[in-house]
Amino acid sequence: MSEHEHTAHGAGAPDDADPALVADGVVDLLGFLAYASLVAFFRLADDASLAASLPDKADLAAMAVAQFGHFKLLRSRISELGSDPQQAMAPFVEAIDAFHARTAPSTWLEGLVKAYVGDGIAADFYRLIAQLLDQRTRSLVETVLADSGRAEFAIARVREAIAADPAVAGRLALWARRLVGEALSQAQRVAAERETLARLLAGRSAAQLGEIGRMFATITDAHAQRMAALGLAE
Amino acid sequence: MSEHEHTAHGAGAPDDADPALVADGVVDLLGFLAYASLVAFFRLADDASLAASLPDKADLAAMAVAQFGHFKLLRSRISELGSDPQQAMAPFVEAIDAFHARTAPSTWLEGLVKAYVGDGIAADFYRLIAQLLDQRTRSLVETVLADSGRAEFAIARVREAIAADPAVAGRLALWARRLVGEALSQAQRVAAERETLARLLAGRSAAQLGEIGRMFATITDAHAQRMAALGLAE
């Protein structure tokens, strides 16, 4: 990013690490991402138990471990900004727990699709918000982003399963739709309850709250491409 | 260790990485440790869900992640030695799964004691076997060992719980005895079934199989010290 482009972000993206210059809502955002990463760690570790083979278990466990690494980075940044990580995460516990309670995979393939879809949506979301953040928080988000894409192994496994039994495709497509529906429904709930976070995501202008809708649209477009990669109709 | 001391280990501890010079039973040992680490990852992640607070969950999750790191190191070494990690782990699945099935914690404190006791016994065991191994495998084991001791946080938590309710001490002491009893019983079963592994641990001489008993005695002595650190009668 050139100096000119950077300056264009104005107060929404200060380069200074001074907590006072960090946009309102950034601690909210970090708290949300930190709790989402911590829970993703637990859920992926749990879902890995559905795997029949040790290599499959190890692959999903590796994704879980990566999520814990993200959690640690996000937690450190919250502390650096002078906030308490536990307090920063607290407002998002209910929505994130509700999402996982409603989307517990009942088979290994559902777990794989959830891991792949979840990893992809998280990466899209990180990419979209990176530009709204101060320099140090943006670097952290880019570090996390560079560590995503670990779910690519899922594509081959899901395609193999569909080749072996084409009926699997319809059930998994339905499952993927449910995942995205639940994610968007919980995300909208969070955005409605946390005004500063919603403003941050909308470019800090209440008039631009429609931006959140556009952000979701971008994410669902990318989701459609991932569904195609898995061999699933959207 | 001096060159002289090293040479004294003779064929039991070759410095060469040539697979042909690696003692019989080393792949068995690595397979055992790899599967134990992988399962420890899943069990610790699962037990962390018993924690009431997010920091407690994160502490136990960090221990789980460390175990996954050990698993990856051990798995790589098995592949380096020309063996298939899944095959190397297979003979130990039953015993290790049985241990965990019989020692599933029902409370957060039981989970903490299991994490602390398990981490300690694993470290003692790694320390004892390190000297039996070829140079590269020994380095790996020392790397794993340097990464242990993550369960120290459990000491303060368990002591606080006992201070608040002294009756807790008796129940947790009983629990710790059960953990060690189950671990030794499964370890003896593995030693009986895997002759080459038993020989490796006994210094490669069938006449010294009593060494395994002495090894277990060393580990149970260290266990008694850990019980005292937790404030539990052995």
Task: Tell me the pLDDT tens digit for each residue of A139-195.
Answer: 888 888 877 667 778 888 899 999 999 999 999 999 998 998 888 888 878 878 888
Task: Tell me the pLDDT tens digit for each residue of B84-137.
Answer: 999 999 999 999 999 999 999 999 999 999 999 888 888 888 887 777 788 888
Task: Tell me the pLDDT tens digit for each residue of B172-216.
Answer: 999 998 998 888 888 878 878 888 787 777 765 544 556 667 777
A46 contacts on B by Cβ (under 8 Å): 45-46
pLDDT of B42 > 90? The answer is: yes
Instruction: Give the Cα-Cα-Cα angle A14, A17, A23 (nearest 5 degrees).
Output: 50
pLDDT of B45 > 70? The answer is: yes
- The answer as to whether A7 is a domain residue is no
Split at pLDDT 50, 70, 90, the class of B17 is very low
- The answer as to whether B3 is a domain residue is no
Name the one residue in this structure whose structure tokens are 């829970």: A39
| B6 compared with A212, residue with greater pLDDT | A212
- The answer as to whether B143 is a domain residue is yes
* Window A:78-117, CB contacts with B under 8 Å: 85-86, 89
B210 at A interface, C-beta within 8 A: no
A35 contacts on B by Cβ (under 8 Å): 54
Number of domains chain B is built from: 1
Task: Tell me the pLDDT tens digit for each residue of A10-67.
Answer: 444 444 445 555 667 889 989 999 999 999 999 999 988 888 889 889 988 999 999 9
Residue type, A47: D
Closest residue on chain B to A93 (Cα): B54
Whichever domain contains B110, its CATH number is 1.20.1260.10
CB pairs under 8 A between A and B: 59
In this complex, do A45 and B42 lie within 8 Å of one another by their Cβ atoms?
yes
Split at pLDDT 50, 70, 90, the class of B171 is very high
CA atoms within 13 A on the CB side of A178: 16
Q: Which residues of A4-24 are buried (b: 16+ CB within 10 A; e: fewer)?
A: eeeeebeebbbeeeeeeebbe
Closest residue on chain A to B54 (Cα): A86
| B145 compared with A211, residue with greater pLDDT | B145
In this complex, do A38 and B61 lie within 8 Å of one another by their Cβ atoms?
yes
Contacts of A211 (CB under 8 A, 6+ apart): A201, A202, A203
Question: How far is Cα A185 from Cα A175, in angstroms, rounded to an integer?
Answer: 15
| A136 compared with B220, residue with greater pLDDT | A136
B86 contacts on A by Cβ (under 8 Å): 53-55
- The answer as to whether A4 is a domain residue is no
- The answer as to whether A116 is a domain residue is yes
Split at pLDDT 50, 70, 90, the class of B15 is very low
Task: Tell me the pLDDT tens digit for each residue of A99-141.
Answer: 999 999 999 999 999 999 888 888 888 887 777 788 888 888 8
Question: How far is Cα A172 from Cα A105, in angstroms, rounded to an integer?
Answer: 11
- The answer as to whether A6 is a domain residue is no
CA distance to partner chain A, nearest, from residue B30 (Å): 15
In this complex, do B68 and A46 lie within 8 Å of one another by their Cβ atoms?
no
Average pLDDT score over residue span B142-165: 84
pTM of the predicted protein model: 0.80
Q: Which pLDDT value is given to residue A6?
A: 40
In this complex, do A48 and B61 lie within 8 Å of one another by their Cβ atoms?
no
- Say if CB B103 and CB B178 are below 8 A apart: yes
Owning domain of residue A45: 21-230
Q: Which pLDDT value is given to residue B73?
A: 93
Give the 3-state secondary structure percentages of chain A, helix then strand then coil, rounded to 5: 80, 0, 20
The pLDDT > 90 percentage for chain B reads: 39
Closest CA to B62 of A89, A65, A94, A19: A65
Question: How far is Cα A76 from Cα A57, in angstroms, rounded to an integer?
Answer: 29
- The answer as to whether B204 is a domain residue is yes
- Cβ-count burial of B65 within 10 angstroms (0-12 exposed, 13-18 middle, 19+ buried)? buried
Question: How far is Cα B212 from Cα B200, in angstroms, rounded to an integer?
Answer: 10
Q: Which pLDDT value is given to residue A3?
A: 39
- Say if CB B197 and CB B28 are below 8 A apart: yes
- The torsion of the CA quartet B224, B226, B230, B234, rounded to 10 degrees, works out to -10
CA distance to partner chain B, nearest, from residue A145 (Å): 20
Q: Which pLDDT value is given to residue A9?
A: 40
Question: How far is Cα B50 from Cα B32, in angstroms, rounded to an integer?
Answer: 27
Task: Say what angle helices B167-193 and B153-164 make with each other, to 10 degrees.
Answer: 140
Question: How far is Cα A212 from Cα A216, in angstroms, rounded to an integer?
Answer: 6
- The answer as to whether A45 is a domain residue is yes
Highest average pLDDT, of A68-72, A215-219, A228-232, comes from A68-72
CA distance to partner chain A, nearest, from residue B121 (Å): 24
pLDDT of A214 > 80? The answer is: no
Closest residue on chain B to A42 (Cα): B45
- Say if CB B29 and CB B197 are below 8 A apart: yes
B46 contacts on A by Cβ (under 8 Å): 45-46
Q: Which pLDDT value is given to residue A89?
A: 95
pLDDT of B36 > 50? The answer is: yes
CA distance to partner chain B, nearest, from residue A52 (Å): 12
Name the one residue in this structure whose structure tokens are 């200074």: A16
In this complex, do A38 and B49 lie within 8 Å of one another by their Cβ atoms?
no
Q: Which pLDDT value is given to residue B109?
A: 93
Contacts of A190 (CB under 8 A, 6+ apart): A32, A91, A92, A95, A197
Contacts of B112 (CB under 8 A, 6+ apart): B60, B151, B154, B157, B158
